[in-house]
């Protein structure tokens, strides 16, 4: 199908009045071919359409095409049309010159977490490649018919009411109300819509919160292994990132106490429900100790509760933010683990004064949000659809966790240690000492498997003999295949 609209800007016609029109068109076509704007094989519009488009007589276009054909630039194929000759060597479009501000770009640090090597990028497009992700949900299990219905309804209402305006936050308010009710009922947070700021993802929530709190030189604590986007943000804002150890009960609050005596600590970032990446839940006594330390040393806690919904052993822990006496916690959540990462919806929960400041900054960064998606999400929460979906997938994810454990046991036996986490969508798998996990991850690529090395979660870039293996986005057969590929990679390294 030839898109006519694109031809006007493509054909730059000479305005020399002495030149015959057909010659101008023929030369315009040749220049477009020479400059790479019309690659070999491009189908040209029919002569009648081109004549209409250029507002010339059809005969003029026929002459122009013939002129270009006799010189070999175009070829005509019976019943198919006129094409740019495929035998011409393709001409790359010239690169634009370097911008004058290029030196500034050199100062921008590379964030390894977001930088994939060529092999990973190639695998992302290869059919049959498998990914052990950080623990994301399976988009194939989303209730598509329900989502279609709710999206259609939101779209229809949005257009019919004609109330969406730049700068008006109508649908955001509905979603904040729905989230506030959900957080009051399920997570014990004493909040209303005024305590919630909506963002387009956890990273944006972390960036906004951190930029409100951190000044260059401030000390920020993160766990020895932690979510890379978080500490990359803190560093980008000029913070000095200091690490705290983690053990089987979560982060070592005794060390936080010591660090608070050595430094003025501004902020600590934690994922206490299911520690990222090690999956450990923070022990109750340590939760209390942490809140007491925050009050004593007056530091802020950013509590990221990225997968609160999936807790398989007993009742989930209530967030630190649910403690009514505390005044130091900013709580960050997301709908991504339930609805997948397609609908970008994260939320920050904090006292109203903080929320007002965050919203002002969010508006600067984002302007307006997607009103239709917001309405749909609010309706899904209010009508209990989110809960229904969660109940259904939780059973499946729990079963997948068992499948992965069994596959790992069969493939690696004593060579690995896996501690059963209380919840979340990933396992933290430790390999025997001496195992070169970085090499294993690299070798796995040759077997069509992508997995992040544990080292990527270390703010100090320390090698780890462990991997975080998300089990929810792979079905049972894929889990088996992925584990086999990991085992094959280990075999290929000669360590078996």
Ligand X SMILES: Cc1ncc(COP(=O)(O)O)c(C=O)c1O
| Residues that bind ligand X in the complex, under the rule CB under 6 A | 134, 136, 201-203, 227, 271, 276, 304, 306, 334, 336, 341, 346
Q: Is 216 helix (H, G, I), strand (E, B) or coil?
A: coil
Q: Which is nearer to ligand X, 60 or 334 (by Cβ)?
A: 334
Min. distance of Cβ 223 from ligand X in angstroms?
A: 11
Q: How far is the CB of 361 from ligand X (least distance, A)?
A: 17
Nearest CB to ligand X, comparing residues 202 and 464: 202
What is the smallest separation between the CB atom of 299 and ligand X, expressed in angstroms?
A: 21
Strands 219-223 and 265-270: parallel
Q: How far is the CB of 143 from ligand X (least distance, A)?
A: 19
Closest CB to ligand X among residues 232, 304: 304
Q: Between 134 and 281, name the residue whose CB sits nearer to ligand X.
A: 134
Q: Beta-carbon neighbour count of residue 215 at 10 Å?
A: 10
By beta-carbon proximity to ligand X, the closer residue of 67 and 133 is: 133
From residue 45, alpha-carbon distances to 8, 29, 70 in Å are 12, 12, 18
Q: Encode 325-369 in three state secondary structure.
A: CCCCEEEEEECHHHHCCCCCCEEEECCHHHHHHHHHHHHHHHCCC
Query: Toward ligand X, which CB reaches closer, 45 or 316?
Result: 316
Distance in Å from the first CA to the final CA of the chain: 56
Tell which residue, 335, 274, 326, has the closest CA to residue 301: 326
- Cβ atoms of residues 226 and 374 within 8 Å: no
Task: Name residues whose C-beta falls within 8 Å of residue 218's C-beta, 6 or more positions apart in sequence.
Answer: 238, 239, 240, 264, 266, 267
- Strand bridging mode 130-132 / 449-451: parallel
Bridge partners of 198, per DSSP, are 347
Distance CA 332, CA 334 (A): 7
- Measured distance CA(68)–CA(75) in Å, rounded: 9
Nearer to ligand X by Cβ, of 227 and 471: the residue is: 227
* Rounded least distance, CB 139 to ligand X, Å: 13
In this complex, which beta carbon is closest to ligand X, that of residue 297 or of residue 468? 468
Instruction: Indicate the residue among 65 and 347 with the shorter CB distance to ligand X.
Output: 347
Nearest CA to 346 out of 319, 317, 369, 380 is that of: 369
Q: How far is the CB of 138 from ligand X (least distance, A)?
A: 13
Q: Which is nearer to ligand X, 73 or 317 (CB)?
A: 317
Helix segments in 13-82, DSSP class H:
21-34, 47-54, 58-70
Look at residue 416 and give its three-state secondary structure. Answer: strand
CB of 201 to ligand X, least distance (A): 3
User: Closest separation between CB of residue 272 and ligand X, Å?
Assistant: 12
Tell me how far apart the 2 most distant CA atoms of the chain are, in Å. 90
Q: How far is the CB of 468 from ligand X (least distance, A)?
A: 9
For ligand X, the closer CB: 114 or 159: 114
Our separate counts of H helices and E strands in the chain read: 18, 16
Question: Please, what is the minimum distance in Å from the beta carbon of residue 345 to ligand X?
Answer: 7
Q: Which of 203, 147, 156 is nearest to 385 (CA)?
A: 147
CB 113 to ligand X: min, Å: 11
Question: Going by C-beta distance under 8 Å and a sequence separation of 6 or more, which residues neighbour residue 322?
Answer: 187, 188, 189, 190
* Contact (CB, 8 A) for 275 and 428: no
Distances (CA, A) of 334 to 308, 312, 400: 9, 19, 22
């Amino acid at each position: 199908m030839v898109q006519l609209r694109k031809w006007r800007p493509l054909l730059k016609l000479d305005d020399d009045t002495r030149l015959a029109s057909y010659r101008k068109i023929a030369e315009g076509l040749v220049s477009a071919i020479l400059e790479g704007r019309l690659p070999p094989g491009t189908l040209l519009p029919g002569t009648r359409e081109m004549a209409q488009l250029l507002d010339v007589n059809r005969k003029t276009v026929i002459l122009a095409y013939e002129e270009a054909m006799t010189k070999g630039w175009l070829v005509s194929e019976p019943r198919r049309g006129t094409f740019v000759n495929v035998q011409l060597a393709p001409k790359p479009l010239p690169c634009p010159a370097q911008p004058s501000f290029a030196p500034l770009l050199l100062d921008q640090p590379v964030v390894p977490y977001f930088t994939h090597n060529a092999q990973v990028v190639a695998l992302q497009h290869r059919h049959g490649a498998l990914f052990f992700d950080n623990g994301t949900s399976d988009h194939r299990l989303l209730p598509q018919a329900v989502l279609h219905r709710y999206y259609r309804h939101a779209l229809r209402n949005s257009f019919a009411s004609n109330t969406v305006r730049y700068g008006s936050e109508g649908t955001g308010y509905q979603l904040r109300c729905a989230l506030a009710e959900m957080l009051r009922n399920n997570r014990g947070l004493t909040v209303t819509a005024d305590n919630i700021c909506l963002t387009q993802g956890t990273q944006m929530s972390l960036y906004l919160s951190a930029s409100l709190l951190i000044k260059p030189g401030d000390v920020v604590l993160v766990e020895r292994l932690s979510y890379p986007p978080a500490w990359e943000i803190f560093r980008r804002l000029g913070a000095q990132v200091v690490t705290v150890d983690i053990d089987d009960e979560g982060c070592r609050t005794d060390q936080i106490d010591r660090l608070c005596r050595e430094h003025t600590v501004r902020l600590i970032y934690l994922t206490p429900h299911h520690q990222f990446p090690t999956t450990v839940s923070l022990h109750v006594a340590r939760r209390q100790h942490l809140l007491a330390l925050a009050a004593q040393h007056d530091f802020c806690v950013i509590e990221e509760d990225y997968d609160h919904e999936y807790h398989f052993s007993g009742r989930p822990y209530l967030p630190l933010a649910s403690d009514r006496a505390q005044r130091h916690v900013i709580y960050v959540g997301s709908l991504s683990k339930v609805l997948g990462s397609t609908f970008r919806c994260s939320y920050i929960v904090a006292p109203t004064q903080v929320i007002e400041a965050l919203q002002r900054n969010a508006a600067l960064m984002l302007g307006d949000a997607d009103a239709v998606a917001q309405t749909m999400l609010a309706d899904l929460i209010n009508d209990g659809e989110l809960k229904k979906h969660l109940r259904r997938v939780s059973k499946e994810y729990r079963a997948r966790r068992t499948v992965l454990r069994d596959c790992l046991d069969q493939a690696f036996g004593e060579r690995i240690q896996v501690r059963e986490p209380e919840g979340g969508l990933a396992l933290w798998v430790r390999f025997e000492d001496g195992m070169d996990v970085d090499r294993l991850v690299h070798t796995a690529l040759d077997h069509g498997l992508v997995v992040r090395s544990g080292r990527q979660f270390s703010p100090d870039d320390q090698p780890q003999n462990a991997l975080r293996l998300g089990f929810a986005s792979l079905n049972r057969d894929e889990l088996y295949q992925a584990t086999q590929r990991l085992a094959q990679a280990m075999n290929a390294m000669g360590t078996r």
